Amino acid sequence: MRAILNIIWLVFGGLWLALGYILAGIVACILIVTIPFGIASFRMAGYALWPFGRAVIRKPEAGVGSALGNVIWFLVAGLWLAIGHVTTAIAQAVTIVGIPLAVANLKMIPVTCVPFGKEIVDSRYLAPGTRPLHSL
């Protein structure tokens, strides 16, 4: 079922969202100082491309650096990528079949806005008792 949902997702919005993340990652990698932002963007591109069957969890070792990175990320790229998710969700929600995809799109916005201090993992390999922030 995950594969079917991911293929439908890929065709009806996932590819365009992933391209947006890739573009943000390339721009971030131009300057050496912002390479961590580029890496986070490329990580999110993979999640935006194939999200079903994955979960977002908090990294326990994340600290002040992650918080500072999230503030900078939100101001530079997170807000624009979140707008892309909302726009795609509105387009997907036009049809009844697209409503679950639109909901999944909206669930991705929190990790889009603040990606540092979070990890994207395969939901099949979550440790017992681990509570994901969200999973698709």
| pLDDT, tens only, 14-41 | 899 999 899 999 999 998 888 999 999 9
For residue 91, give its domain range: 2-135
Q: What is the pLDDT of residue 55?
A: 84
- Six token digits for residue 135: 């999973």
Q: What residue ranges of the chain have pLDDT lower than 70?
A: 127-136
CA distance 66 to 82: 19
Per the structure, the count of domains in the chain is 1
Residue 64 CB neighbour total at 10 angstroms: 7
pLDDT of the residue at 42: 94
- The pLDDT value given to residue 129: 64
pLDDT at residue 64, as a whole number: 87
Report the pLDDT value the prediction gives residue 93, as an integer from 0 to 100. 92
